[in-house]
Structure 1
Amino acid sequence: MGDQPNNQVGESSNQVGFPKEPSSLSIQFSILTSTNYTIWTVKITAIFKVQGLLEAIEPRTGTVVDSKINGLAIVYLYQGMPEALVMQVAHLSTAKEIWDALKTRFVGVDRVREARIESLQHEFDVLKMKETNTIDDFSTKISQIASKASNLGEPFEEKTLVRKLFKSIPRKRYIAIVATIEQFADKKTMTFHEAVGRLKAFEERSRDEDKLVSGKQEQLIYTYEEWKAKSNNASWERQDGNRIKSKEQGKG
């Protein structure tokens, strides 16, 4: 009975000051690249939360991070970085310093970052779907711009992407599906992928119908040409027959 308070204190201090015991789950570290910084930080942050290391990169004001936590956090960060990048930050002594250095490197200083965001916003605003494009082509362009903006810490909202998609497609070509969606679906809650899926389904169905109509037209044209050819042959046969009859009558 007398030992219970000490155990409780030990557990409490373990939760606050020391990382949790490593789980048996094998942790897969994504490698940081020039294009995946935002999602990489999300994954690393999640791992640090589970392992009790989050304070190493997000320390509370006025607190000193335990050296063991700091050391493990650095090891984990190294696991998610290419070797060339590890060598560039190896001189830094805390996980927080490494974390901030990576942020500066990949997000850029505020002025450069803001200029890049403005450029992407302009590219997004003027983007239009060409008549020769498919929904796949155009949605990929939107996704690429959105991904770049997200890597800069300024992701587009789903409703913004959906609105851009419907606003920029050729209205005449997709008027039937757009009218149906506007009548029966809520574009404010629709996800970008759902909108793309609906438009692609309509596009594929329309393409199949166009092929069917085109095939029937070709068949009609072929039938007409065939009939015309047969008519010409019959006409020639009649003319030949008349000439033969005329010759025979002349002989008689």
Structure 2
Amino acid sequence: MSGSQDEIPPPPPPPPSSSQTPTQQTPHTVSTIKLPILKKGEYDIWAMKMEHYLAHTDYPIWEVIQNRNGHVSITTDTQGQIKVLPPRTAEEIVARERERKARTTLLMALPEDHLAKFHKMTDAKEMWDAIKSRFGGNDESKKMQKYILKQQFEGFSVSNSEGLHKGYDRFQSLLSQLEIHGAGVSTKDANQKFLRSLPSAWSQVSLIMRTKPGVDSLSFDDLLYNNLRVFKSDIKGSTASS
């Protein structure tokens, strides 16, 4: 009897848990993208960010906002009030769900003190157009914004504590704002302005670069990364010794 028990094979090992599957350990990168929140005076940038955000995370939602979601069946009750009929087909259910997601996404991107103005809208495209009308500003305010940006460009400078890369990021952001508001500057003006805005420690390098043949035709990125970064360690060394 004991011999027959010894001949019984051991039970097979349990299958690996789902946590051990390599494909399930890979994080979902889309979830790390933050929803752009609309801030005062930044509608144009917010609209661009929203377009890229929705096109990347859920493009059909962006299509709903741009083109609406097709026909919605309606009827009237005994009192003459218009009522939206519930979806009947699978296509109508998907369309209604996309409309709801589009509307919810837009509401979540608005400042809390403006939610009451938009939450009753049931059409995502109508909401998108209303947000533009409310926050996009009139022609006079856009002219003022353009004037302010031009003033910021003229007075731009990079401090010693800020450093080359932070100064570059801030200047690049200013160039983008100017472009959005229809006041973009030429490559020559951008390059020359940034070189003149560098701290005094960069004065000699700046002078060499400003008079270098072909510098006015370089893109702003090429100007910084392919040329100025070459001198960065030298500038740090000379600043420390002085």
Band the TM-score falls in, shorter-chain normalisation: 0.5 to 0.7
Give the letter for the 2:65 counterpart: I
Tell me which residue corresponds to 1:56.
Answer: 64
Give the letter for the 2:102 counterpart: A
Which aligned pairs between 1:40-119 and structure 2 lie closer than 5 A?
40-49=46-55, 50-59=58-67, 65-67=70-72, 68=96, 69-119=98-148
Cα distance in 2 for residues equivalent to 1:52 and 1:81:
21
SS where residue 217 of structure 2 aligns? coil
Cα distance in 1 for residues equivalent to 2:193 and 2:46:
27
Offset of residue 92 of structure 1: 2.5
Which aligned pairs between 1:17-28 and structure 2 lie closer than 5 A?
26=31, 28=33
Give the letter for the 1:42 counterpart: M
The structure-2 alpha-carbon separation of the partners of 1:33 and 1:206, relative to structure 1 and needing over 3 Å to count, comes to same
SS where residue 58 of structure 1 aligns? helix
Offset of residue 136 of structure 1: 5.7
Cα distance in 1 for residues equivalent to 2:105 and 2:131:
14
Report if aligned partners of 2:35, 2:109 keep a CA contact under 8 Å in 1.
yes
Q: 2:39 aligns with which of 29, 34, 44?
A: 34
Which aligned pairs between 1:1-252 and structure 2 lie closer than 5 A?
26=31, 28-34=33-39, 37-49=43-55, 50-59=58-67, 65-67=70-72, 68=96, 69-127=98-156, 135=164, 139=168, 142-143=171-172, 145-146=174-175, 148-149=177-178, 153-154=181-182, 156=184, 159=187, 160-169=189-198, 173-176=202-205, 178-179=207-208, 183=212, 186-192=215-221, 195=224, 198-199=227-228, 202=231, 204-212=233-241, 214=242
The runs of 5 or more residues in structure 1 that have no matched partner are 1-22, 215-252
Q: Deviations over 1:160-187 (max 9, x none)?
A: 5333212444799533455358647655
Q: Deviations over 1:76-100 (max 9, x none)?
A: 2224334443333113232122212
* Greater percentage in helix: 1
TM-score, length of structure 1 as denominator length: 0.53
The structure-2 alpha-carbon separation of the partners of 1:44 and 1:172, relative to structure 1 and needing over 3 Å to count, comes to closer
Give the letter for the 1:52 counterpart: P
SS where residue 30 of structure 1 aligns? coil
The structure-2 alpha-carbon separation of the partners of 1:96 and 1:123, relative to structure 1 and needing over 3 Å to count, comes to same
The structure-2 alpha-carbon separation of the partners of 1:114 and 1:133, relative to structure 1 and needing over 3 Å to count, comes to same
The structure-2 alpha-carbon separation of the partners of 1:120 and 1:46, relative to structure 1 and needing over 3 Å to count, comes to closer
Cα distance in 1 for residues equivalent to 2:172 and 2:233:
21
Give the letter for the 2:138 counterpart: V
Percent identity of paired positions between Structure 1 and Structure 2: 17
Give the letter for the 1:117 counterpart: K
Report if aligned partners of 1:128, 1:169 keep a CA contact under 8 Å in 2.
yes
Q: Deviations over 1:196-222 (max 9, x none)?
A: 78546535523413544x5xxxxxxxx
The structure-2 alpha-carbon separation of the partners of 1:128 and 1:121, relative to structure 1 and needing over 3 Å to count, comes to same
The runs of 5 or more residues in structure 2 that have no matched partner are 1-27, 73-95
Report if aligned partners of 2:146, 2:178 keep a CA contact under 8 Å in 1.
yes
Tell me which residue corresponds to 1:246.
Answer: none
SS where residue 32 of structure 1 aligns? coil
Q: Deviations over 1:122-145 (max 9, x none)?
A: 331244568998546754663564
Larger Cα Rg: Structure 1 or Structure 2? 1
Tell me which residue corresponds to 1:229.
Answer: none
Give the letter for the 2:50 counterpart: I
